[in-house]
DNA sequence: CTATTGACGACAT
DNA sequence: CATGTCGCCAATA
């Protein structure tokens, strides 16, 4: 499985997110120099070859909603709760305070 | 080269 | 708050 440059960039940033912190597809896009490629970022994570090793569950939507996850958003939510993150109505409560800058 | 496909985002209704 | 629309983009067929 070979990864494209774009995918590598994204995955490398994602794996650095510390436990209990979050980031968004949009921020990642900006971080790799393509502020409008949030959607493409999501696709990159979807292809994530090491779903187990890379914590792609810490990436959410810019509006605080969870966004997708290969194994289902419920699973994603569980993992986040396990890291001490709280929810309300399918949205992360005060998500801005968890964002990793 | 063109068309399609989404783990998206901003805005309108 | 819930949907729908439209624009964006990298990857793929």
One digit per residue, the tens of pLDDT, for chain A of length 101 reads: 789 999 999 999 999 999 999 999 999 999 999 999 999 999 999 998 777 578 999 999 999 999 999 999 999 999 999 999 999 999 999 999 999 97
What's the pLDDT at A52? 56
Q: Which nucleotide is nearest to A63 (CA to C1')?
A: B9
- Cβ-Cβ contacts under 8 Å for A62 (sequence gap 6 or more): A24, A25, A26, A27, A38
pLDDT score at A101? 78
Per the structure, the residue whose CA is closest to nucleotide C8 at C1' is A36
Residue A77: strand pairing partners? none
Q: C10 C1' – A70 CA distance, angstroms?
A: 18
């Amino acid at each position: 499985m070979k990864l494209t440059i774009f995918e590598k960039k994204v995955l490398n940033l994602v794996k650095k997110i510390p436990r209990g912190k979050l980031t968004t597809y949009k921020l990642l896009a900006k971080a790799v120099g393509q502020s409008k490629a949030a959607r493409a970022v999501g696709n990159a994570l979807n292809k994530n070859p090491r779903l187990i090793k890379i914590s792609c569950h810490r990436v959410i939507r810019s509006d605080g909603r969870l966004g997708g996850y290969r194994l289902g958003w419920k699973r994603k939510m569980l993992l986040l709760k396990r890291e001490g993150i709280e929810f309300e109505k399918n949205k992360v409560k005060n998500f801005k305070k968890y964002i990793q800058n």
